[in-house]
Structure 1
């Protein structure tokens, strides 16, 4: 079972430059994502885990927290220190945190 992190802990990690992986589909990501989040649709995670570092935490986010748990499980099984973000991007936006639109990573 994936380890989860709260919105508050995620916000602190994000502010410190933590790596965020968004496992939603490209159209969902383009509609609005956490600034700096790397797009890695859930179906691609098993094949792309090698792109992720094994020497630091990875914060996995989706719309509400369901897909991110699956993605974090896959990552953890491959030696990546991954955490699912409880509540996902929806809770992030409702909490007043920044969200950017477009198909590319954007800094905050």
Structure 2
């Protein structure tokens, strides 16, 4: 399946899954996002089966890879185009810390 990319203004309900490293996540992430680094996602993907998930990274590349893993595990998944950078550029706040 082809994973759907969404724009910041299309962000809706669902689990926000930030797939960056813990340090990148702590430096600034979308409010309410959960951090599961991409290199740990394969073993965690099954827990999101049947859920609506939006994957997020810095610019959108890692989140697409994560979305494909989650799609294969049965999640209803979308990837945030432009990632956290697009979110910031749209003027939205980020949270810091873990």
Length-normalised TM-score, structure 2: 0.93
RMSD value, Cα = 1.1
Displaced runs of 4+ in structure 1, greater than 3 A? none
Length-normalised TM-score, structure 1: 0.85
Query: Structure 1 pair 29/71, CA: closer, same or farther in 2 (3 Å)?
Result: same
Aligned positions, number: 97
SS at match of 2:41: helix
Deviations 1:33-82 (A, max 9, x none): 0011000000111100122251x420000000000000000100111111
CA contact (8 A) 2:30 2:94 kept: yes
